[in-house]
A and B are shown apart, each in its own frame.
Chain A
Amino acid sequence: MFESPTLQTLTDYNIWIALPAIALAFGTMFLLVIDVFLPANRKHWTPILALVGIGISFLINLFTYNPEQTSTFGGMFVADAFTGFLNIVVLITAFISVLLSTDYLRRTETNHGEYYILLLLSATGAMFMVGANDLIVIFIGLELLSIPLYILSAFRVTYTDDRDATFVLKSEESGMKYFILGAFSSAFLVYGSALLFGATGTTNLREIFAAVGPILESSAENSGALLLLIGAALSLVGLGFKIAAVPFHMWTPDVYEGAPTPITAYMSVAAKVGGFAALFRLMIVGLSGLTLDAGVDPAAWQGTIQVIAAVTLILGNFVALSQTNIKRMLAYSSIAHAGYILMAVAAVGSAGLVPDIANTAAQAGLVYLLAYAFTNLGAFAVVLALENNDGTGTELSDFNGLYNSRPMLALAMALFMFSLTGIPLTAGFMGKWLVFSAAVQAGLIPLTIIGVLTSVISAFYYVRVIVNMFLLTEDEGSPAVGETAPVRYAVYASMAGVLIVGIAVPLVTNLVNMVSLV
């Protein structure tokens, strides 16, 4: 029976292991109050305080980084190496996004303090999602991650009768599309969660894992196994929307193009980190035992995820080829990258057949997410530097001759494009290498071949940007109005990240090797 908690349970509950997320949440609320009381001429303190809050949370995360799995809130939230590592990714993403935002907001006249608060709230949601060990926490974390993003996508809205102010209309259209499809998809996720709860009688992922085996054994007499399958499928649909996997990707290019560029950078990483964290936890911790014939077949969902991954890879990369707007191109590229990480998720499905594949694949996915975070943030930082105040300047042709006007930006962009392609000595190569080898280890040879081939195709559109920047030298090159000091720091930080992950490999692998979900 339920025991009445006493004051003692507060300390027994280990709440401190969720401290990085809790500290960020309370820091955000503190910032909200401070921001309201700041006089108008001191508003520039808000982003600085936001950076301080992220930094504090980062430090707490480093000090509480603990590979031993500990849980709190009655087993709903767990802290292990997986949580700690992805917390780092989320916090880095939030930090760089705030750096990108400060001058962008000022020059586009949308400088409201709420922007930073919403951004931090969204990061808090991602951090709770990363440590979620319970369907309820996954859902709440997902909503806390998404709801601020709906608002932030529509942040450039002002009331205007100017029909030429397309950036206003694009931004609000992007917010509305993201909202409608996001809410639609989370309804699917909770419907799936409800069915999983109904089949197993619990929302805790570990208890779901324990319940799956007996349900499958008695599947001749009842429909529990069917409920499990439908629940898993609907959850996959819901999370598929968040990570922008084909066929649930339709919103991505429109939202990425219309949203303010720092928000595009942020959500292209944070939403994926949150979604994939939940997907890994749900599939590995909760449902890895969901096989039709234990010891012979892989997990029942592996085939579906393989197909989704293959379609995502093919469609994302091929459609990106024909894009002329860099934000749309990067949107399709982010769809394609979701496909690569889905390969790691698919590899997890062989957990019952290949020893230790679940952990290997999860580690590969994590490294890929870190590499993707640095690379994508950097690429969007360069895009933001070139973007004009009215939202123009994001066509591929605007990159023509960038090497003439801004050699440093051009070199940085070249590095990020190489990393997105997966050229050795960059972070992207590390991610792809680990994911492909995990997929081969799991025996997913056809999927791996598709992955390799589509990487080759992706080189076409990434290299086209580089060609535009370095070879089309008759153009003067963009004036890069957005290249201010914070943006430059963000670009340097991303470059450093890409190179460190790509070259100082043991640094990352040592961190990741502690990850063990099973």
Chain B
Amino acid sequence: MVPLSWYLIVSAALFSIGVFGVLSRRNGVAVLMGIELMLNAVNINLVAFWRYNTTIASVTEPVPSELSGMVFAAFMFVVAAAEVAVGLAIIITVYRNWRSVIPEETDTLRG
């Protein structure tokens, strides 16, 4: 079987790419995609941990009914979808008034 660490590395890499996307892209929709990537990286993590199931320190006996990783992943899908729906709506309204989806060009508020 593929060791758990491989999944964790993939997930960490995806998460980092997502962070990079959020920080470097100037387009609002691309930023949203970066956030999605981060959330899906977490999903890989959760499902991998759930699949391998035992605690890393083997503290407890493996419990087949310990479903929280799976349940967490399912809830994350839904929450991510709700977030995207709201985010897209906000970005569209910004676009209609600014004719731009680039956060930096919206600059009425200066810190």
Stretch at the interface among A177-185, A281-289, A419-427: A177-185
- Contact (A157, B97) CB under 8 Å given A147-B83, A173-B108: yes
Q: Are A172 and B90 in contact (CB under 8 A)?
A: yes
A16 within 8 A of B: no
Query: Which residues of the other chain, A, contact B35 by a CB distance below 8 angstroms?
Result: 180, 183-184, 187
Q: Are B93 and A172 in contact (CB under 8 A)?
A: yes
Question: A154, A176, A214: which has the most chain B beta carbons within 10 Å?
Answer: A176
Q: Are A183 and B75 in contact (CB under 8 A)?
A: no
A202 to B41, CA, bound (A): 19
Contacts A176-B28, A193-B42, A194-B49 known; list 10 others, CB within 8 Å: A1-B64, A1-B65, A172-B93, A173-B94, A176-B103, A183-B35, A187-B39, A191-B15, A211-B59, A254-B111
Query: Which residues of the other chain, B, contact A221 by a CB distance below 8 angstroms?
Result: 57
- Contact (A180, B103) CB under 8 Å given A136-B68, A169-B98: yes
A143 to chain B, nearest CB (A): 5
A330 within 8 A of B: no
Query: Which residues of the other chain, B, contact A194 by a CB distance below 8 angstroms?
Result: 42, 45-46, 49, 72
Q: Are B97 and A201 in contact (CB under 8 A)?
A: no
A182 to chain B, nearest CB (A): 9
Q: Are A201 and B39 in contact (CB under 8 A)?
A: no
Query: Which residues of the other chain, A, contact B22 by a CB distance below 8 angstroms?
Result: 180, 184
Which residues of A from 328 to 343 have beta carbons under 8 Å from B?
none
A194 to B109, CA, bound (A): 35
A147 to B72, CA, bound (A): 18
Q: Are A135 and B72 in contact (CB under 8 A)?
A: yes
Which residue in A1, A147, A170, A201 is a CB contact (below 8 Å) of B60?
Answer: A201
Q: Are B97 and A202 in contact (CB under 8 A)?
A: no
Which residue in A175, A201, A224, A227 is a CB contact (below 8 Å) of B90?
Answer: A175
Describe A's contact surface by its main secondary structure.
helix
**Please, could you name 15 A-B residue pairs with CB atoms under 8 Å apart, sorted by A?**
A143-B82, A168-B97, A176-B94, A176-B106, A179-B90, A187-B15, A187-B39, A188-B38, A191-B15, A191-B42, A199-B55, A215-B56, A218-B57, A224-B57, A254-B109
Query: Which residues of the other chain, A, contact B93 by a CB distance below 8 angstroms?
Result: 154, 157, 159, 172
Query: Which residues of the other chain, B, contact A177 by a CB distance below 8 angstroms?
Result: 103, 109
- Contact (A197, B87) CB under 8 Å given A157-B97, A169-B98, A191-B42: no
Q: Are B46 and A197 in contact (CB under 8 A)?
A: yes
B67 to chain A, nearest CB (A): 8
Chain A contact residue count (CB 8 A cutoff): 59
Which residues of B from 1 to 19 have beta carbons under 8 Å from A?
8, 15, 18
A150 within 8 A of B: yes
Chain B proximity mask over A198-221: 1 for CB below 8 Å, otherwise 0: 111111100000010011001001
A363 to B89, CA, bound (A): 41
B109 to chain A, nearest CB (A): 4
A135 to B72, CA, bound (A): 9
A176 to B96, CA, bound (A): 13
A200 to B60, CA, bound (A): 9
Question: A2, A194, A250: which has the most chain B beta carbons within 10 Å?
Answer: A194
Which residues of B from 31 to 47 have beta carbons under 8 Å from A?
31-32, 35, 38-39, 41-42, 45-46
Which residue in A169, A187, A215 is a CB contact (below 8 Å) of B18?
Answer: A187
Considering only CB atoms, which chain B residue lies closest to A143 in the complex?
B79
Which residue in B45, B72, B82, B111 is a CB contact (below 8 Å) of A250?
Answer: B111
Chain B proximity mask over A239-280: 1 for CB below 8 Å, otherwise 0: 000000000001001100110000000000000000000000
Q: Are A203 and B72 in contact (CB under 8 A)?
A: yes
Considering only CB atoms, which chain B residue lies closest to A190 in the complex?
B42
Considering only CB atoms, which chain B residue lies closest to A137 in the complex?
B75
Complex A-B, nearest 5 residue pairs according to Cβ-Cβ distance, in ascending order: A201-B55, A187-B38, A2-B65, A198-B49, A194-B45
A140 to B77, CA, bound (A): 11
B71 to chain A, nearest CB (A): 6
Which residue in B8, B83, B96 is a CB contact (below 8 Å) of A159?
Answer: B96
Query: Which residues of the other chain, B, contact A180 by a CB distance below 8 angstroms?
Result: 22, 28, 31-32, 35, 87, 103
